[in-house]
Amino acid sequence: MTRRFVVVAATWFGTGLSPVAPGTVGTLGAIPLYMAMARLPLWLYLAILVPFFFLSSWVAGRAQEEFGQKDPGTVVIDEVIGYLITMAGVTADWRSILAGFLLFRFFDVVKVWPARYFDRRMRNGYGVVLDDVAAGLYACAALHLLLGYL
Protein backbone atom coordinates (compact mmCIF):
# COMPACT_ATOMS: atom_id res chain seq x y z
CA MET A 1 0.00 0.00 0.00
CA THR A 2 2.68 2.51 0.99
CA ARG A 3 4.83 1.80 -2.09
CA ARG A 4 1.82 2.19 -4.39
CA PHE A 5 0.82 5.43 -2.66
CA VAL A 6 4.36 6.81 -2.99
CA VAL A 7 4.56 5.98 -6.71
CA VAL A 8 1.09 7.36 -7.50
CA ALA A 9 1.64 10.54 -5.46
CA ALA A 10 5.24 11.08 -6.63
CA THR A 11 4.26 10.75 -10.30
CA TRP A 12 1.07 12.73 -9.63
CA PHE A 13 -1.28 10.06 -10.88
CA GLY A 14 1.10 9.07 -13.67
CA THR A 15 1.71 12.49 -15.21
CA GLY A 16 5.39 12.18 -14.31
CA LEU A 17 5.62 9.07 -16.46
CA SER A 18 5.29 11.16 -19.61
CA PRO A 19 8.17 10.37 -21.98
CA VAL A 20 8.34 14.05 -22.97
CA ALA A 21 8.75 16.89 -20.44
CA PRO A 22 7.42 15.09 -17.33
CA GLY A 23 7.86 18.24 -15.19
CA THR A 24 5.72 20.24 -17.59
CA VAL A 25 3.09 17.50 -17.78
CA GLY A 26 3.16 17.18 -13.98
CA THR A 27 2.56 20.91 -13.67
CA LEU A 28 -0.41 20.59 -16.03
CA GLY A 29 -1.64 17.83 -13.73
CA ALA A 30 -1.65 20.32 -10.84
CA ILE A 31 -4.22 22.56 -12.53
CA PRO A 32 -7.29 20.49 -11.52
CA LEU A 33 -6.19 20.55 -7.88
CA TYR A 34 -5.66 24.30 -8.08
CA MET A 35 -9.13 24.73 -9.62
CA ALA A 36 -10.62 22.73 -6.75
CA MET A 37 -8.81 24.87 -4.18
CA ALA A 38 -9.11 28.28 -5.87
CA ARG A 39 -12.41 29.25 -4.23
CA LEU A 40 -11.16 28.59 -0.73
CA PRO A 41 -10.40 31.54 1.52
CA LEU A 42 -6.72 32.44 1.15
CA TRP A 43 -5.93 31.51 4.75
CA LEU A 44 -7.32 28.00 4.19
CA TYR A 45 -5.59 27.65 0.81
CA LEU A 46 -2.25 28.51 2.45
CA ALA A 47 -2.99 26.30 5.47
CA ILE A 48 -3.48 23.32 3.14
CA LEU A 49 -0.10 23.99 1.53
CA VAL A 50 1.75 23.46 4.82
CA PRO A 51 0.91 19.77 5.32
CA PHE A 52 1.08 19.27 1.55
CA PHE A 53 4.69 20.52 1.68
CA PHE A 54 5.62 17.95 4.32
CA LEU A 55 3.73 15.18 2.53
CA SER A 56 5.41 16.10 -0.77
CA SER A 57 8.85 16.10 0.85
CA TRP A 58 8.25 12.69 2.42
CA VAL A 59 6.88 11.26 -0.84
CA ALA A 60 9.80 12.70 -2.85
CA GLY A 61 12.32 11.22 -0.41
CA ARG A 62 10.67 7.80 -0.49
CA ALA A 63 10.40 7.95 -4.28
CA GLN A 64 14.14 8.60 -4.55
CA GLU A 65 14.65 5.35 -2.62
CA GLU A 66 12.07 3.48 -4.73
CA PHE A 67 13.49 4.67 -8.06
CA GLY A 68 17.12 4.50 -6.90
CA GLN A 69 18.13 7.98 -8.05
CA LYS A 70 18.31 11.56 -6.81
CA ASP A 71 15.37 13.70 -7.93
CA PRO A 72 14.13 11.38 -10.68
CA GLY A 73 12.30 13.15 -13.50
CA THR A 74 9.25 10.99 -12.89
CA VAL A 75 8.78 12.61 -9.46
CA VAL A 76 6.53 15.60 -10.13
CA ILE A 77 4.74 16.11 -6.81
CA ASP A 78 7.25 18.94 -6.28
CA GLU A 79 5.89 20.65 -9.41
CA VAL A 80 2.40 20.36 -7.95
CA ILE A 81 3.22 22.25 -4.76
CA GLY A 82 5.30 24.76 -6.73
CA TYR A 83 2.37 25.51 -9.01
CA LEU A 84 -0.05 25.73 -6.07
CA ILE A 85 2.27 28.27 -4.42
CA THR A 86 2.45 30.21 -7.70
CA MET A 87 -1.33 30.46 -7.83
CA ALA A 88 -1.90 31.53 -4.19
CA GLY A 89 -4.33 34.43 -4.06
CA VAL A 90 -4.99 34.37 -7.81
CA THR A 91 -8.41 34.21 -9.45
CA ALA A 92 -9.00 30.99 -11.39
CA ASP A 93 -9.48 32.23 -14.95
CA TRP A 94 -7.74 30.85 -18.02
CA ARG A 95 -5.35 33.82 -18.38
CA SER A 96 -4.15 33.53 -14.79
CA ILE A 97 -3.84 29.75 -15.02
CA LEU A 98 -1.80 30.01 -18.23
CA ALA A 99 0.37 32.88 -16.97
CA GLY A 100 1.00 31.05 -13.69
CA PHE A 101 1.89 27.88 -15.55
CA LEU A 102 4.38 29.67 -17.82
CA LEU A 103 5.94 31.68 -15.00
CA PHE A 104 6.31 28.66 -12.75
CA ARG A 105 7.90 26.57 -15.52
CA PHE A 106 10.28 29.46 -16.28
CA PHE A 107 11.43 29.87 -12.68
CA ASP A 108 11.59 26.09 -12.19
CA VAL A 109 13.92 25.70 -15.18
CA VAL A 110 16.07 28.79 -14.50
CA LYS A 111 16.47 27.97 -10.78
CA VAL A 112 17.14 31.43 -9.36
CA TRP A 113 18.82 31.45 -5.92
CA PRO A 114 18.03 29.75 -3.54
CA ALA A 115 16.38 27.16 -5.81
CA ARG A 116 19.71 26.17 -7.36
CA TYR A 117 21.20 25.70 -3.88
CA PHE A 118 18.36 23.40 -2.79
CA ASP A 119 18.51 21.48 -6.06
CA ARG A 120 22.27 20.85 -5.91
CA ARG A 121 23.09 20.63 -2.22
CA MET A 122 20.17 18.93 -0.48
CA ARG A 123 20.02 15.23 -1.21
CA ASN A 124 16.72 14.38 0.48
CA GLY A 125 13.03 14.87 -0.24
CA TYR A 126 13.15 18.40 1.14
CA GLY A 127 15.77 19.32 -1.46
CA VAL A 128 13.58 17.92 -4.22
CA VAL A 129 10.63 20.02 -3.07
CA LEU A 130 12.30 23.21 -1.82
CA ASP A 131 13.68 24.23 -5.21
CA ASP A 132 10.12 24.14 -6.55
CA VAL A 133 8.85 26.04 -3.51
CA ALA A 134 11.41 28.76 -4.28
CA ALA A 135 10.40 28.76 -7.96
CA GLY A 136 6.75 28.96 -6.90
CA LEU A 137 7.42 31.96 -4.66
CA TYR A 138 9.24 33.81 -7.45
CA ALA A 139 6.50 32.91 -9.92
CA CYS A 140 3.78 33.97 -7.46
CA ALA A 141 5.38 37.39 -6.98
CA ALA A 142 5.82 37.81 -10.75
CA LEU A 143 2.25 36.70 -11.40
CA HIS A 144 0.83 39.12 -8.84
CA LEU A 145 2.86 41.94 -10.39
CA LEU A 146 1.71 40.94 -13.87
CA LEU A 147 -1.94 40.77 -12.83
CA GLY A 148 -1.75 43.93 -10.75
CA TYR A 149 -2.58 42.25 -7.43
CA LEU A 150 0.28 43.87 -5.52
In the chain, how many domains are there?
1
Which residue range forms the structural domain that includes residue 110? 2-147
Q: Considering the entire predicted model, what is its pTM?
A: 0.93
Per residue in 118-142, pLDDT (tens digit) is 767 767 788 889 999 999 999 999 9
Taking alpha carbons only, the member of 31, 132, 16 closest to residue 87 is 31
SS3 breakdown of the chain: % helix, strand, coil, rounded to 5? Answer: 75, 0, 25
The neighbour count for residue 146, using CB atoms within 10 Å, is 15
What are the tens digits of pLDDT across the range 18-69? Answer: 888 999 999 999 999 999 999 999 999 999 999 999 999 999 999 988 887 7
